[in-house]
A and B are shown apart, each in its own frame.
Chain A
Amino acid sequence: MIRTTVLTMARRVSLVLGLPAVLFAVWWFATAGSTDFYVPPLSTILQKFGEVWTGERLLSDVLPSLLRLTAGYLLAVVIGVGLGLVVGMSRVARDVLEPVLELFRAIPPPVLVPVIMLFAGIGDTMKVLVIVSGCMWPVLLNTVEGVRAVDEVLSDTCRSYGITGTSRLRHLVLRSASPQIVTGMRQALSIGIILMVISEMFAASNGLGFTIVQFQRSFAIPEMWSGVLLLGLLGFLLSLLFRFAENRVMAWYQGLRRAQRNT
Chain B
Amino acid sequence: MTGPGSTPVLTKTVGASGADKGPGAPGGGRARRALEGAATPLRGLAGLAGLVILLQVLPHSGLVSADYLPPASEMGRALWGLLAEDAFWTALGDTLTGWGLGLAIAVVAGVMAGIVIGSVPVLRAVTASTIEFLRPIPSVALIPVAVLLYGTDLRSKLLLVVYAAFWQVLVQVLAGMQDVDPVADDTARSYRMGSWGRVRYVMWPTALPYVMTGVRLAATVALVLAITAELVIGSPGLGNQIAVAQTSGAVPRVYALVLVTGVLGVAVNLVARAVERRALHWHQSIRREG
Contacts and interface: CB of A to CB of B under 8 A. Distances in A.
Interface string A202-246: 100000010011011000010011011001100110110000000
B36 A190 contact: no
B127 A95 contact: no
B152 interface: no
B228 A19 contact: no
Interface in A110-126: 110-115, 117-119
Given A96-B50, A108-B261, A109-B8, A179 B137 contact: no
Nearest to B238: A111
Interface residues of B, number: 78
A183 B5 contact: yes
Nearest to A15: B125
Interface string B266-284: 1011000000000000000
A20 interface: yes
A50 interface: no
Contact of A107 (B43, B137, B262): B262
A152 interface: yes
B46 interface: yes
A141 interface: yes
A117 B246 contact: yes
A63 B148 CA distance: 26
Contact of A186 (B10, B45, B46, B133): B10
Contacts of A23: 130
Interface secondary structure of A, over-half rule: helix
Contacts of B251: 118
B28 interface: no
Nearest to B244: A114
Contact of B142 (A16, A117, A151, A228): A228
Interface in A69-101: 91-92, 95-100
A253 B18 contact: yes
Interface secondary structure of B, over-half rule: helix
A3 B133 CA distance: 30
12 contacts: A15-B129, A19-B130, A97-B47, A102-B4, A104-B262, A106-B265, A108-B265, A142-B5, A152-B24, A183-B6, A202-B232, A228-B142
Contact of A138 (B10, B24, B50): B10
Complex A-B, nearest 6 residue pairs according to Cβ-Cβ distance, in ascending order: A106-B265, A231-B141, A95-B43, A239-B136, A216-B144, A187-B10
B162 to A, nearest CB: 16
Interface residues of A, number: 77
B40 interface: yes
Contacts of B266: 102-103, 106
B44 A235 contact: no
Nearest to B12: A186
Contacts of A180: 3, 5, 17
Nearest to B239: A111
B68 interface: yes
Given A96-B47, A115-B254, A183-B11, A145 B4 contact: yes
A109 B224 contact: yes
B34 interface: no
A17 interface: yes
B141 A232 contact: yes
A33 B19 CA distance: 57
Given A19-B127, A19-B129, A100 B47 contact: yes
A41 interface: no
B135 to A, nearest CB: 8
Contact of A108 (B51, B127, B227): B227
A152 B67 CA distance: 49
Contacts of A117: 246
Interface string B28-45: 000000001001100111
A161 to B, nearest CB: 18
A137 B7 CA distance: 10
A260 B44 contact: no
Interface in A174-189: 179-180, 183-184, 186-187
A190 B10 contact: yes
B81 interface: no
Contacts of A119: 68-69
A1 interface: no
Given A180-B5, A236-B133, A108 B254 contact: no
Contacts of A6: none
Interface string A30-69: 0000000010000000000000000000000000000000
A105 interface: yes
A131 interface: no
Contacts of B245: 114
Nearest to B22: A153
